[in-house]
Structures are given as C-alpha cells and as structure tokens.
Amino acid sequence: MDYKRSCQSRGRSREKDGQMNVVKRIARNTLSLAAAYVFSQIITLILSIFLARFLGEEKYGTYVFAFAITGLIFVIADFGLNGLLIVEVSKNRSIAPRYMPTTLLLRSLLGFICLLISLAAVLIASYPKDTAFVIMIVAMTSFFGNLTAVFFGMFNAFERMHLNLLVQIIERSFTVTIVIAMLFSGFGLTEIIVVIFAGSILSFSIAYLIFSKSITKPIWEFSIGDAIAQFKRATHFATSSILLTLLYTVNTVLVQIWGGNIAAAYYGVAYNLAIPLSLLHTFFLGAIMPLTSQTYEQSIEKLKMIQQKAMKFLFFFGLPITVGGFIVGGDIVTLLYGENFAPAILPFQILILVVAVKYFCGNIANVLASANLMRLNAYSAAAGTVVNIGLCGILIPFYGPAGGAAAFLLANVVMGFMSLRFMTSRLFSVDYKDIALKTVVTSIALAIFLLIVKSYLNVILTIVAGTIFYITIGLIIGTFDKGDRDILFRLVRE
C-alpha cells in the first residue's frame, strides 16, 4: 500500500512539474513576443502620429490608402504558408534547413505576382503620379515584408521569439529615426516612403543572417515535388489567412472609395489606435501555438486545460482595454493626433469593442489548426468576411468611417461565435462562467470608476488610476482562483 501511494505521489509530482514546464515555456515565449509586438506597435504609433501631424489629412490619407490597397493585393502572398511552417517545423525541427528555402521560394513567387497586380491596378486606376509612386514603393515594401515573415515563422517554430524583437528593434529604430528627422527637415511623403522601403530590405537582410547563424544553415536545394506538396498542405491555412487579411484591409479601401482620402485618414487613425490593441494578444497566441500543436498529439485533456487558462487570462486583460478605450477614447485621439482628427473618435470607440470579442475567443484558431480542423477556421473567416463586406456596402455610404468600423465589429462577432461553436462541437467545451463572470464584474466596477475620475484627471493619469483600480478589484474578488495563483506565483519564483 505504501509503495502504491508512493507511486501515485511521484506521478502527481511529475504531472505538476510537467504543468509548470508548460507554463514556463508559454510565459517565456509570450514575454519575448510581447516585447517584440509592443515595441513595434509603439514605434509604429509614434511614426503614425508624426506623419498625420506633419503631412495633414489629405497626404496622410494617401499614405493609409497605399498600405491598405497593397495589403488587399498582397492578401495571397502568405497563402497560409507561415501557419503551416510553424505547425510542421515545431513538430520536427530537423526539416528546417530545406523547409525554409522552399517556403521562401513559394512566397517570392506569390509576392512577384502581387507586384504585377499592384502595377496593373495603378495603371488601370490612373492615379496621380505621386500617388502611383507611393503605392508601388509600398508594394515593394510589402514584398520584402512578406519574405521576412518566413524567418519570423521559423523563430517562432524554434521557440526563439526574442529574435523577432532583435530584428524589429534594428529596423524600426533605423526607419523611424530617419523619417522623423526628414519630417522636421521638410521632406514630403514620396521621400519618406522610400526610407520605409529601405527599412524593409534591412529587416529581411538581418532576419536572414540571424536565421543562418543562430538557427540553422539553409540547404539551397529545391524540389518541385516538395514545393507542390507544401503548397497543397497550406490550402486550408491559405483560405483562412487570405480571408482574414481581406477582412483587415478592405474597409480602409472602401472608406476611401466612398469618402476620399480625408475619410480614409480618419478611419486610419481609429484603426491604428484600436486594432493593435485588438491584436495585442497575438504574441501570446504565437508563443502558445507550437505548444498547442504538440499537446494535441499527447492529450486532449491537457489541451483543454491550456485552452481554459488561455481564455481566462486573455479575457481578463482584454475586457478592461475595451471598457477603458471606449470611455476615454475621445481624449486619447485628440491628445495624440490633435483636434483636426476628432471625427476619428467614434470609429475608434466602435473598433475598440473588437478587443473584448477577440480576447474572449483567444487561441481557438490554434486549437482547431492543431486538431487538423483548419477548414473550420476558414469557414469562420469566410462568414466574417462576407458579413463585413456586405455591411460595408450598406453602412459606409451613410455613416462613413463609423460605418466601416461597425461592419468590422459585427464581422468579428460572427467569427467569434462560430469559432466557439466549432471548438465545443468538435473537441471540448470550456467553463465560460469561470472564464468571464468575475472579469465582467471587475470591468463594470472599472467603468464606474473611470466615469467618475475622468473629470478630475487628465487622460494619462486616468488610465494609470484605472489600471491600478482594476487589478486591485480583481485581486480582492479573486478573479483568479487558488490554482491560477499558484501557477503564477511559482512562475515568478522560478
């Protein structure tokens, strides 16, 4: 009997240690991707603010439209190849030396096709020369960004996410420093866009060197059969990837078509502030994706545990962003961009609601992909894209940028609902009460607090005070149970 108890005790100990190793890996990878994402978004926001203030609504609208239209065209450039890369290489890292060149070749071919489409679009639309120049330079920037993403995918697959941060620090520091200096020196949009293009070449070069030196030496041998097989396996990833990229880029283009460059500038400001916050959790999803893929092969119950924790943590951080952004959003927009961009306030308040939706449904796409149910992600993305485009056609002509924002929000609600249904019906269900109840209560208290204090404090102090209040209330009412706290405290100690 004592021997049996001893074996059971050792088994529980090994299981607990295994859970802690899982948590530590997720935390390490999450912090690396978080640092890369936050740094990139802060620098990009700073660049956006300077461009909007120095260039004005019309030129800034051209800048926003150029990135939107090329983003729409380059929607096929990824073709799901990066998602497939992370899933396959994380399972078998020995394939990386040959897998990377094949992926790079495929994405180069797709990118070249996108460049030709961009040129054709510029010629057919007969844009003014300066606008056409900006669009084509942005297209070439997107081409190199498309290739750099291959190395970022490899870094993720090898769980070396800190290398993403290193590349972005070098490239963003170079680009933003020179662009801001040029703005103060009186240079215009056409000169600035060339510097941004140079930054994309720098990013690609650095990422390749780091991959070759720190990960593995690529083997430059190509097999047409392997390339075709990889292309076919990426099909389900491609459908979802293309539809999601379309979802995130088409609204800016449609707002510009119906409202012109100034309307696109207002939507661009709202988008640049809200969408990075709605995608803030992607660094966590990137960190957990290799583990999710590996865990599905081992234990569905363990995967369910990981997903339960992921949704709970993400929603706890996502809902207050929505609440705070909606209440103080107007002050944020005018503080950063000036009173001229006040029409961007309502679109921002609508778009910030997307944060709560996306965080609640966090990691479901990874779970379905790991279970070889990527087609279900494609179905959700297809439904969201159809809803978004349909509502854009109805709402934008009447409500402008706010209509585009509302269409995007409702599309994400549809996608989130479908993803939850797919996960529940095909794999497992989670405890929604445990995930959401206390976070909702804490966020309601936060809303009341912000409405009271915003009249007495400036926007920065209001955000700081709200953050402290939210965390304090969350601790008081026990948003995370003892098991959650034990994991977090042990993680900090170790």
Give residues with Cβ within 8 angstroms of 326, minimum separation 6.
349, 352, 353
pLDDT of res. 268:
87
Is residue 10 assigned to a domain?
Answer: yes
Residues 439 and 381 sit within 8 Å (Cβ to Cβ)? no
- Looking at residue 396, its pLDDT comes to 94
With contact defined as beta carbons under 8 Å apart, do 362 and 311 qualify?
yes
pLDDT tens-digit map of 428-441: 888 888 888 899 99
Question: Does the pTM exceed 0.75?
Answer: no
Question: What Rg do the C-alpha atoms of the chain give, in angstroms?
Answer: 23
* Better-scored residue on pLDDT, 234 or 360: 360
Residue 234: phi, psi to the nearest 5?
Answer: -80, -5
In a domain, 475, yes or no: no
Using 50, 70 and 90 to split pLDDT, how confident is the model at 314? confident
Is the per-residue pLDDT at 48 higher than 60? yes
| Total count of residues recorded for the chain | 494
Range from 154-163, 176-185, 326-335, 406-415 carrying the lowest mean pLDDT: 154-163
Nearest alpha-carbon partner for 428 in 364, 357, 358: 364
> What is the mean pLDDT of the segment spanning 330-345?
89
Q: Looking at the domain assignment, is residue 355 inside a domain?
A: yes
| pLDDT tens readout for residues 349-361 | 999 999 999 998 8
Please report whether residue 441 resides in a domain: no
Most confident option among 63-67, 249-253, 324-328, 477-481: 324-328
Residue 38, pLDDT score: 72
Mean pLDDT of 260-270: 88
Reported as a single tens digit per residue, the pLDDT across 424-477 is 988 888 888 888 889 999 999 999 999 999 988 888 999 999 999 999 998 888
- Pairwise CA distance, residues 232 & 242, whole Å: 15
Q: How many domains does the chain have?
A: 1
Inside any domain, residue 107 = yes
Summarised one tens digit per residue, pLDDT across range 198-224 is 999 999 999 999 888 888 888 787 778
| Count helices and strands in the chain by DSSP H and E runs | 18, 0
Q: Which residues contact 65 (CB under 8 A, 6 or more apart)?
A: 252, 253, 256, 261, 264
Residue 435 domain-assigned?
no
Query: Residue 29 in contact with residue 159, Cβ under 8 Å?
Result: yes
Say if 265 falls within a structural domain: yes
Which domain covers residue 125, as residue numbers?
2-430
Q: Does 490 reside within a domain?
A: no
